[in-house]
Every structure is written in structure tokens, then in C-alpha cells.
């Protein structure tokens, strides 16, 4: 679809009628494999004339999700996978191989940090972590065998908005690929591919699905890179189930509505919490895009707050290790998302026992604020 707004595209990005069916919603192709009338028809799959053979190789629902996110990001193609982590791995392996080197920002989601720092060593891929807030540090880390610059559009948990333009220009200078995790921003707020990023990855578990009921990942980019990433998803068995792909596509239809409300709520909460004398610091990005600055607010409670009492006093706000649902929730980076980050890295980034990441939902913004302030008041020593 061309010449339509993001809001309209999000609703109508899926369900292309290619099979002579007329259902308003896409059917769920809940099957492990597809049948053929004869051997000639079977052979047509391997000749590229028939699209589906076995769901690990491809399925109408998972293909719909990959195409939908690609459309929202303005990318050529996309592939869905079992989780955000598997999508990251598929994207990295589409670019880097044994003997190659990656430069990554040091303020990443803890799971991504572990994947790049520990697991990629088993593939013979070396990774250097530096502050992407400092261009010179990136330049100094680039080697002859460097293939990829990796970062997040809005970093986790301290919500630094990445300088995408700088990153793309630097990559072009050194003939490197770029990969950006756009989970926190979503394509509603940012579209890094349109700014020149080669691969954009999402944990669709978060805002794309939007209802905390799926685990899914999507990576989008050029047709050539996505072909390679798709083969990695197939070979590693990292495919997504048809039903979870269907649920995620359903969630995407309300992405614009949810993100508009959650962005506004988050801005309000960040502004109000900045006035609290019992919060050491509020982390919330500025001027990410005209549509907003994301739906996550991170705070560092002051030393006169008991963090255990704070978490026990949140009432209807849930404590969860994730984010992105329609309900406001809180997580504890030092105890969950960044638990396995090396202690020296935690200290360098400022992750301590009083840091709280808040995923802002669609509830009444004043009631969200009141609940948070009540928990802070109760936690005072």
C-alpha cells in the first residue's frame, strides 16, 4: 500500500487474498506441513512455483507477520522468528561469520549483551562493546575484520536515543552493515531502515503484539539480507508458530492507537516524576520523533526509599520481567533483564538496586501516577 498514513497501514498491512478465500480475518494455518496432489506438484515447491512445504520453512501466517512489519518499517522484506533473541541471532549471522568482528553499544538489553558477548564466541565471532554516545570510541573499536555495528534505537534500560544518522554515516565510511533493535521505539515512533540502517529487529513480544500473550521476533531489511536471515531461521529451527504469528498480526492492527496513548501517558509520567524529591533521577528520552519518545520510563529511587517495599506496594501495577503490554508494569533490571550483565558493566552503566523500569500502559495517566507515587510514599524509610 502506498501513499497511506502509518495508522491506516497498520490496520491493513495483512491479509492479502491469494487463495480465493473471502474471510475478513486471515485464517490460522495451524499445520506442520502442506500436502500435494502428486509428485509434480511437490517438485513445484523446489522449483519456486509453490510457496509452502513445511511450516519450519514457511507458513502463510508467519510470512504475513514478516511482510507486515517490513511494510511498517518501509523495508523490502521481513522474516518472523520464535523470539526477539532468535531474530537478533538470525540477523547477526546473516552478516557475520567465523573470524568476523562486531562493534556493539554497551548499553544493551542484558539478554542481547550475553548473546553477543558469550554465545557468539561459539560461532567464532568476536564483539567489542563501547559507548555509542561517543563516536570516537566506535571508530577506535573498528578493525579490519569488523562487519557490523549493532545498537538499539532507544536503549534498555536507560533509554538513550541512538544517533542513527551518525551510525549510518560511520558504517558507510568503513563499509560496514548496521543493525538496530527498534523494539522500544516501534515503527510508529522511528523507522531506522528509512534512515539507512541495513537490518531492523523487533522483539514482537512487546509492542507489536501488545497484549503480553505471544513470544515472537521479526527482522526486516533488504531482500538479499533477509533471504540470508530467513535461511538461518529455517536451519536453526527458530521458526514462529502460526498461531502466535496470527496473534501478533492482530495486535499490530491497534499499534498506532496503543502507541499514541502510551507515548502520551509516558511523557506525562516522566514529567510528573521529575518533580518528586524521592526519585534520584528520571530517565526518559527527548525529541525522538514528532510522534513521541516511547512508552518506557526508568527511574532511580532515592536512598531513603526501600526498593522491596516499593515493589510490594504497587497495587494493580504488575511486576513483570518484560514490557510493552497495554497494562502498566514495572521491572527490576538488576534482578531480571540485566541480571547476568557483568558487574563491572552494570557499574559502568549505572544499573543498581534502586533502578526501576516502568512500562507505561493505556490506563488513565493520573491513576498510573497516583499508584506510583503511593508506592514511593509507602517505601520511605
Average pLDDT, stretch 43-66? 94
Q: Rg of the chain's alpha carbons, rounded to an integer?
A: 21
Given this model, what pLDDT does residue 50 score?
87
Given this model, what pLDDT does residue 16 score?
54
Average pLDDT, stretch 305-329? 97
Cα–Cα distance for residue pair 150/127, rounded to 1 Å: 10
Measured between alpha carbons, how far is residue 130 from residues 150, 152, 180, 203 in Å?
A: 11, 13, 15, 23
342 pLDDT above the threshold of 90 = no
Give the number of other Cβ atoms within 10 Å of residue 4's Cβ. Answer: 12
Given this model, what pLDDT does residue 332 score?
95
20 pLDDT above the threshold of 70 = no
CA-closest candidate to residue 355, choices 327, 331, 379:
331
Average pLDDT, stretch 300-305? 96
Cα–Cα distance for residue pair 376/315, rounded to 1 Å: 12
Cα–Cα distance for residue pair 311/332, rounded to 1 Å: 9
In this prediction, residue 297 has a pLDDT band, given cuts at 50, 70 and 90, of: very high
Given this model, what pLDDT does residue 350 score?
87
Q: Name all domains of the chain by residue range, CATH numbers in brackets.
A: 15-252 (3.40.640.10), 255-379 (3.90.1150.10)
Given this model, what pLDDT does residue 15 score?
55
What are the grid coordinates assigned to 337, written together?
533483564
100-126 pLDDT, tens digit each: 999 999 999 999 999 999 999 999 999
Given this model, what pLDDT does residue 23 score?
81
DSSP summary character for residue 121: G
Given this model, what pLDDT does residue 339 score?
86
Average pLDDT, stretch 265-276? 98
367 pLDDT above the threshold of 90 = yes
Q: What is the pTM for the complete model shown?
A: 0.94
* Proportion of the chain above pLDDT 90, given as a percent: 88
Average pLDDT, stretch 239-262? 98
- What lies within 8 Å, CB to CB, of 116 at 6+ separation is 92, 102, 104, 108, 127, 129, 150
60-104 pLDDT, tens digit each: 999 999 999 999 999 999 999 999 999 999 999 999 999 999 999
- Select the more confidently predicted residue: 210 or 11: 210
In this prediction, residue 21 has a pLDDT band, given cuts at 50, 70 and 90, of: low
- Burial class of residue 355 (count of CB atoms within 10 Å of its CB; 0-12, 13-18, 19+): buried
Out of 21-30, 307-316, 348-357, the most confident range is 307-316
| Mean pLDDT value across the chain | 95
- Select the more confidently predicted residue: 347 or 366: 366
Average pLDDT, stretch 292-317? 97
18 pLDDT above the threshold of 80 = no
135 pLDDT above the threshold of 60 = yes
Average pLDDT, stretch 335-362? 90
Amino acid at each position: 500500500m502506498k501513499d497511506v498514513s502509518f495508522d491506516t497501514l497498520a490496520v491493513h498491512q495483512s491479509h492479502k487474498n491469494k487463495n480465493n478465500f473471502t474471510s475478513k480475518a486471515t485464517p490460522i494455518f495451524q499445520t506442520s506441513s502442506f500436502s500435494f496432489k502428486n509428485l509434480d506438484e511437490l517438485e513445484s515447491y523446489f522449483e519456486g512455483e509453490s510457496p509452502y512445504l513445511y511450516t519450519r520453512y514457511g507458513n502463510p501466517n508467519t510470512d504475513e507477520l514478516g511482510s507486515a512489519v517490513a511494510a511498517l518499517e518501509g523495508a523490502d522484506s521481513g522474516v518472523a522468528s520464535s523470539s526477539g533473541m532468535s531474530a537478533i541471532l538470525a540477523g547477526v549471522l546473516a552478516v557475520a561469520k567465523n573470524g568476523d568482528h562486531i562493534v556493539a553499544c554497551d548499553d544493551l538489553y542484558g539478554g542481547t549483551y550475553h548473546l553477543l558477548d558469550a554465545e557468539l564466541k561459539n560461532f567464532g565471532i568476536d564483539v567489542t562493546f563501547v559507548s555509542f554516545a561517543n563516536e570516537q570510541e566506535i571508530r577506535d573499536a573498528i578493525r579490519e575484520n569488523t562487519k557490523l555495528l549493532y545498537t538499539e534505537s532507544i536503549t534498555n534500560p536507560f533509554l538513550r536515543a541512538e544517533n542513527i544518522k551518525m551510525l549510518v554515516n560511520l558504517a558507510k565510511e568503513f563499509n560496514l552493515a548496521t543493525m538496530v533493535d527498534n523494539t522500544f521505539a516501534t515503527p510508529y515512533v522511528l523507522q531506522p531502515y528509512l534512515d539507512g540502517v541495513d537490518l531492523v529487529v523487533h522483539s514482537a513480544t512487546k509492542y507489536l503484539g501488545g497484549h503480553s500473550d505471544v513470544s515472537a521476533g521479526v527482522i526486516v531489511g533488504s531482500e538479499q539480507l533477509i533471504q540470508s536471515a530467513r535461511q538461518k531461521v529455517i536451519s536453526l529451527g527458530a521458526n514462529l508458530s502460526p498461531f502466535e504469528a496470527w496473534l501478533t498480526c492482530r495486535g499490530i492492527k491497534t499499534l498506532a492507537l496503543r502507541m499514541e496513548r502510551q507515548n502520551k501517558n509516558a511523557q506525562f509520567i516522566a514529567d510528573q516524576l521529575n518533580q518528586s524529591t524521592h526519585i534520584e533521577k528520571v530517565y526518559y528520552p527527548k525529541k525522538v520523533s514528532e510522534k513521541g519518545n516511547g512508552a518506557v520510563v526508568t527511574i532511580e529511587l532515592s536512598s531513603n526509599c526501600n526498593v522491596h517495599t516499593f515493589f510490594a506496594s504497587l497495587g494493580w501495577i504488575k511486576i513483570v520481567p518484560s514490557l510493552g503490554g497495554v497494562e502498566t508494569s514495572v521491572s527490576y533490571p538488576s534482578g531480571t533483564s540485566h541480571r547476568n550483565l557483568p558487574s563491572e558493566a552494570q557499574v559502568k552503566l549505572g544499573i543498581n538496586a534502586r533502578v526501576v523500569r516502568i512500562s507505561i500502559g493505556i490506563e488513565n495517566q493520573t491513576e498510573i501516577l497516583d499508584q506510583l507515587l503511593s508506592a514511593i510514599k509507602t517505601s520511605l524509610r
